[in-house]
Amino acid sequence: MLLRKKSRKSSLGLYRVHSRLGKFVAAAFVIQGLLGKTVLYMGYYTQNATTSQTGVVKTVAGEAKVLIVPGAATLGDKGFSPNPINVKVGDNVTWSNDDTMFHTVTSGTGTSDTNKGKEFDSGLSGPTALTTTGKTFDHKFTTAGEFPYFCQLHPTMVGKVVVS
């Protein structure tokens, strides 16, 4: 009921504000699709960068971040962002669960891959499991190559780390 109530002082009631927010979110997804970047808080996320409390983006050498985006379970290869991610030998990649669902980051091409989890695996339990929003998992890449990965709980969620 509160969302349908209109303000007497303005023709813009809460329902109208909600509609504008919906349009902004839809526009953000369009921008994400066109630019290949995840739109966050009217800015965008870039690899090899961190954001300070003031909102200034600072590059951190040897570090790369991958987000598990909200709603990732239904987004396939868009569930991880950026995807693919390009790093150098010796770089550390940190995956951060920004979704409300439990996910994993498991090396391999899928559940039937006989080598799944041999390079890296956040696991289904323990301290590295991505069980809640804000949890992170990291892995240092020491050899060059392409490293596919997926979520064991949502196998259509796939990503790739390219190490040069």
- % of the chain beyond a pLDDT of 90: 62
Task: Check: CB of residue 136 under 8 Å from CB of residue 97.
Answer: yes
Q: What are phi and psi of 138, to 5 degrees?
A: -130, 155
Tokens at 3, concatenated:
């969302």
Reported pTM: 0.64
pLDDT at 48: 43
Q: What is the pLDDT of residues 50-99, one digit of tens each?
A: 433 333 333 367 889 999 999 999 999 999 999 999 999 999 999 999 99
pLDDT at 62: 80
By DSSP bridging, strand 136-140 and strand 92-97 are antiparallel
- % of the chain beyond a pLDDT of 70: 63
